[in-house]
Amino acid sequence: MTLESVDVVVVGAGPAGMAGATDLAGLGLNVVLLDEQGSPGGQIYRGITLAPLSRRDLLGPDYAHGNVLAKALADTSVRHIKEAAVWQVSRDHQVSYLHGGRMHTLQARAVLLATGAMERPFPIRGWTLPGVMTAGAAQILLKSAGAAPVEPVVLAGCGPLLYLLGWQYLRAGVPIKALVDTTHRDDYWRARRHLVSALRAWPYLRKGLQLMRSLRQARIAHFTGASALAIEGTDAAEALTFTANGKAERVSTRCVLLHQGVVPNIQFSQSLRATHAWDTQQLCFSPLRDSWGELDVPGMFVAGDGGGIGGAQAAALQGRLAALGIAARLGVLGAPQRDQRGVDLRQELNDNLRIRPFLDVLYRPRDEHRIPTDEVIVCRCEEVTAGQLREFVAMGCAGPNQAKSFGRCGMGPCQGRLCGLTVTEVIAEARAAAPGDVGYYRIRPPIKPITLGELAGD
């Protein structure tokens, strides 16, 4: 194992990581950027430097913008280590990763975690069947392989990413069998009080309205206010069933793409024992940070969706603010200069975030699709159902960590990444407690699977 000293390690090469690393290097710091992918971009700009022009055009101008960040990064002294699986970040700023089958550890003076978001779990009956994927997964296939479903596909759920994928599929000539939207008339009514604020983020709103208009004009079967979503099938998906306008519906398809928003990926901040709080608006846990993104673990910073969902532009701005905060912490920049340079960035960030309350309320995932009925699998790895979880609670299980010993819930290969939020909410409901009081899985390294052979090195 090799131990090397650097100023800053940035984990994740999405918008926050690319922008943060670029600015840190610009401030004269020695920066290593570690990322799991073979090229920069994160998930939102996945494959941006490799995608042929035709694909970039198909995906739209927001995707193409990722190349600006990637180009700026390439022009710096940042050492970007690709295909690096970071499996441990310690409170004293050591970062361990696996690269090319070898173990490496960096000793940093500060760490910027820019690990982004993941899809919110969509636990419904049949969601483990082959042919059921997230809209994000389908978008990754489009960005990285130029691939889309062969047969007419069903898009189900709610949120900007779902409509964006629909728009991209229309442009690509991919047949869409139905858009099953869970957004209800009442959701629009509830969201209206955030509309004034959202109007101040007009470019976002306009883009959203354009997406929805093109989907309507394409005359795709569009169900709204859909509830009780479930997938039928034995060895693979055969149909999506749901209720819309009081009527039971069934749409047959081999491919169902689910989406009900994204949530922060908090594996690293949790493993650092940083304080996290339940976000009642975004219905997820996020780490507590100061205005520069620093956690209550000194020298550990978070930028981008890993600290709360704000989108790609907000993520890049947060990355730049964190770079200023880190530079001040390392004595490269005085506090007054940091504050002065941060003014415009902060203003732009606040403008960017004005759309969020509107989106969070309008596309709030339905309770029934977050806290499922008894027969639905919650922990996909160990096949633990919501009913079993409720039995554990009846036997005295108070939180997610105890659910592990009650029935291996969250102990499979994904380490509770995918079921964590569902487990918290199911237990909270069963106990009539607040999700924040129920808490989250205790996350321990290794964050990525490693073998003893790899750990031993050589």
Q: Which two tokens stand for residue 363?
A: 């596309």
Among 61, 100, 173, 336, binds another protein (CB under 8 A): 173
Q: Which is nearer to another protein, 133 or 326 (CB)?
A: 133
Among 70, 84, 124, 132, binds another protein (CB under 8 A): 132
Q: Does 144 bind another protein (CB under 8 A)?
A: yes
Q: Does 150 bind another protein (CB under 8 A)?
A: yes
- The number of C-alpha atoms within 13 Å of 187 and in the hemisphere containing its C-beta is 20
Binding to another protein, residues 269-328 (CB under 8 A) = none
Output the CA angle 171-173-177, nearest 5 degrees.
110
Task: Go through the chain and tell me how many residues it has.
Answer: 458
Among 26, 60, 225, 446, binds another protein (CB under 8 A): 446
Which stretch of DSSP H or E encloses residue 61? helix 61-64
- Binding part of the chain for another protein, among 243-251, 378-386, 391-399, 426-434 by CB under 8 A, reads 378-386
Cβ atoms of 260 and 157 closer than 8 Å:
yes
Widest CA span in the chain: 64
- Binding part of the chain for another protein, among 130-138, 212-220, 273-281, 298-306 by CB under 8 A, reads 130-138
Q: Does 74 bind another protein (CB under 8 A)?
A: no
Cβ atoms of 162 and 168 closer than 8 Å:
no
Residue 174 CB, shortest distance to another protein, in Å, is 6
Using the CB atoms, write b or e for 3-14: b if 16+ within 10 Å: eeebbbbbbbbb
Q: Read out DSSP for 212-251?
A: HHHHHHTT-EEE-S-EEEEEE-SSS--EEEEEETTEEEEE
- Binding part of the chain for another protein, among 185-193, 368-376, 387-395, 444-452 by CB under 8 A, reads 444-452
> Left if phi > 0, otherwise alpha if psi is -120 to 50, otherwise beta: which for 197?
alpha
Q: Which is nearer to another protein, 348 or 383 (CB)?
A: 383
Binding to another protein, residues 412-441 (CB under 8 A) = 412-415, 417-418
- Residue 167 burial (CB < 10 Å; 0-12/13-18/19+)? buried
Q: Which of 187, 176, 248, 242 shows the shortest CA–CA distance to 214?
A: 176
Residue 186 CB, shortest distance to another protein, in Å, is 30
Residue 137 CB, shortest distance to another protein, in Å, is 4
Binding to another protein, residues 209-248 (CB under 8 A) = 235-236
Q: Which two tokens stand for residue 29?
A: 């710091």
The 8-class DSSP code of residue 40 comes to S
Q: Does 145 bind another protein (CB under 8 A)?
A: yes
Distance CA 220, CA 358 (A): 26
Instruction: Tell me if residue 34 falls in helix, strand or coil.
Output: strand
Residue 444 CB, shortest distance to another protein, in Å, is 8
Q: Which is nearer to another protein, 395 or 452 (CB)?
A: 452
Size of the site for another protein (CB under 8 A): 58
Among 181, 382, 425, 429, binds another protein (CB under 8 A): 382
- Binding footprint of another protein on the chain (CB under 8 A): 36-38, 43, 50, 52, 54-55, 58, 118-119, 128-134, 136-138, 140-142, 144-151, 172-174, 235-236, 254-255, 265, 380-383, 412-415, 417-418, 446, 449-453, 455-456
